Structure 1
């Protein structure tokens, strides 16, 4: 565990019923007159962004909408959105959506300048500075992007996803409104919920784990394992959905203080090369990585068992095994594929995946057990 550590948070978080209405007060406090709302066309079509638009218009603020943000955007797609933002002009950015939308909105808030491009930030994120204040309204309970200093973009020429990380990317304001996730389709609720589960358990078992991150990671893990199935299965289970929304946020906070590990590191090539949804790629790799890490994280998994799981396990070995089995049970219950061939992906070049995965040193360095190239190959081989 680290001997020194820090915690970085959004300035203000509003949560609870009709929390989206708080946007009006935020905009008034900022004195903003021109807002750009980032969302995606699907969410806009079904009216998910309407409440945020209404709150903005209530203040007399001029509202422009950018809704052509693709899932798992490339850095070029993000740059396109940034260029559109600069053309429209704005003094506040509102992101209403999942991780792709929020990451794009966060990057727009720092890249709305001629000093550097999104591509420039891939090589050197230290040059960023916040250009516009941000309000993030997540519409999934999973990515935690509303809390993190990270923005993930695809780099097609490397067949990889890359995280741009800077404190400047942390949202200024966050709105957690369970109405925004009430009608989330089960497959999306499941995959994003598993992403949050991975955030929680990876941050708790990271080399950078510390008392701050542990507080949020353990609470997130507890909330997720005891609510995710109900939240995904029952559209009316609002208490479970609220719990998942808070858990996703907590797991995102844990990332700011700790960091994810080999699950996320090895999932990036699957997203970059095969465009596997981020939560699904994490779910596929969760069991192989947990079993690989188990000998060195057993005590931490046992503590997670004591916090979140009811059972008759008594030894650390039994408790550790029970935690891994519970996570596997959740993935199975949510009908998430566990093998690439279930996604129609065959004849996978394991060597290439391993080489790409080993490039994600930012996250592999957090893994408590060293992952070698041969280890990475063996892990990928298990998910063929």
Structure 2
């Protein structure tokens, strides 16, 4: 058996309505905390769903400040503005409440607010130093898995993104409350759900650090997500399916945090960075084409996953692997998600620049089961166009 290490968040609560008890949970884990910063985005703030967890914090005697200026694909300026607010109010705990961007920013506030280090010195793997503030994460989409990962992605220039990867970014507590996801529109539900499925598939097939625990989590994640995604796209008020999606996304996050993602993400990042396409949709657009590219090297693993997403598939290993890819495409079609690059405003003349940007994602490309060249990346984008 392979030697491996596995890390994840130490405490996870999965319960509809759990965010209404946020103050009590924080009192239980951090009885001395008096001031907290809640990090979210303007869209989620406007839903009014922030009020219940805020009330529970205040009822628990915790003074809470809200930073609600998080943007999708958060730029460094947003991160630093949030850190400044945390320092101004001398907060002792950080709460991420939102999608992946809000939770990513919350992670960085927790490690930057104590003032030990500059953000520019944290980019890369294992470069965070010192202790962070206590950190609680509450996802409002079933997609990124950021509530249980040790990764935070920041937009560092006009189009470029960089990652901070360090064990300090694991939260102390993650709360999965499907009540917070009931209002998600079908398009966002579909994109974030497929994003989570990508996490599971890429963790299961990762060329580096693939391990038995991540495999089990990826398989269970794929089971929950594949069985419930079309269901929640049809009926967004289906609480049981919403909770299953949240758990599936979290399990996929635990998997890929230990067995990292690969070429789907490497090719998705430039789409998001250059054309401001949401991350989950960017992944969905390139997914089937990367899977086909990888077939020559990953067919045995894809065939294993076919038993989950295409249970009636039979025949040879290659046939079952192809059935898995076909099932993913069929699921995307069933959700009604956009499926080509041209539909999100990308011109054929943009494909060269996308391919060149994707080749800069060396941290991710190294995890792919099949090596990716510039020519390969250009061909994958052309197939997606």
The TM-score, its normalising length taken from structure 2, stands at: 0.95
CA RMSD in angstroms, aligned pairs only: 1.6
In the aligned structure 2, how far is the partner of 1:16 from the partner of 1:315? 41
Aligned counterpart, 1:313: 314
- The 5-angstrom pairing of residues 238-253 of structure 1 reads 238-253=239-254
In the aligned structure 1, how far is the partner of 2:40 from the partner of 2:193? 20
Aligned counterpart, 1:303: 304
**Shift, 1:122, TM fit:** 2.3
Stretches of structure 2 lacking an aligned partner (at least 5 in a row)? none
- The 5-angstrom pairing of residues 1-384 of structure 1 reads 3-29=2-28, 30=30, 31-122=32-123, 126-157=127-158, 159-208=159-208, 209-384=210-385
Question: Which stretch of structure 1 is more off in the superposition, 327-336 or 302-311?
Answer: 302-311
In the aligned structure 1, how far is the partner of 2:361 from the partner of 2:383? 20
Question: C-alpha deviations, 1:265-321, integer Å up to 9, x for none?
Answer: 111111111111101110111011000001211111111122443314232122111
In the aligned structure 2, how far is the partner of 1:97 from the partner of 1:359? 29
In the aligned structure 1, how far is the partner of 2:192 from the partner of 2:350? 27
Q: Contact (CA 8 Å) 2:124, 2:165: kept in 1 or not?
A: no
Q: Contact (CA 8 Å) 2:35, 2:92: kept in 1 or not?
A: yes
Q: Contact (CA 8 Å) 1:5, 1:257: kept in 2 or not?
A: no
In the aligned structure 2, how far is the partner of 1:22 from the partner of 1:205? 38
In the aligned structure 1, how far is the partner of 2:130 from the partner of 2:382? 41
In the aligned structure 1, how far is the partner of 2:220 from the partner of 2:309? 8
Question: C-alpha deviations, 1:100-138, integer Å up to 9, x for none?
Answer: 000000111001133322233226751333321011110
Question: C-alpha deviations, 1:322-366, integer Å up to 9, x for none?
Answer: 110111111112222222211122243333222211111111111
Question: C-alpha deviations, 1:220-247, integer Å up to 9, x for none?
Answer: 1111111101012202322211111100
Question: C-alpha deviations, 1:1-41, integer Å up to 9, x for none?
Answer: x8221211112111113211342233213121001111112
**Shift, 1:216, TM fit:** 0.4
1:207 to 1:312, Cα distance in 2 relative to 1, 3 A = closer
Q: Contact (CA 8 Å) 1:141, 1:189: kept in 2 or not?
A: yes
In the aligned structure 2, how far is the partner of 1:206 from the partner of 1:282? 16
In the aligned structure 2, how far is the partner of 1:268 from the partner of 1:312? 32
Question: C-alpha deviations, 1:159-211, integer Å up to 9, x for none?
Answer: 22222111100111010111111121111111111110100111111113210
Q: Contact (CA 8 Å) 2:268, 2:283: kept in 1 or not?
A: yes
Q: Contact (CA 8 Å) 1:111, 1:128: kept in 2 or not?
A: no
In the aligned structure 1, how far is the partner of 2:88 from the partner of 2:176? 30
What is the aligned residue count?
382
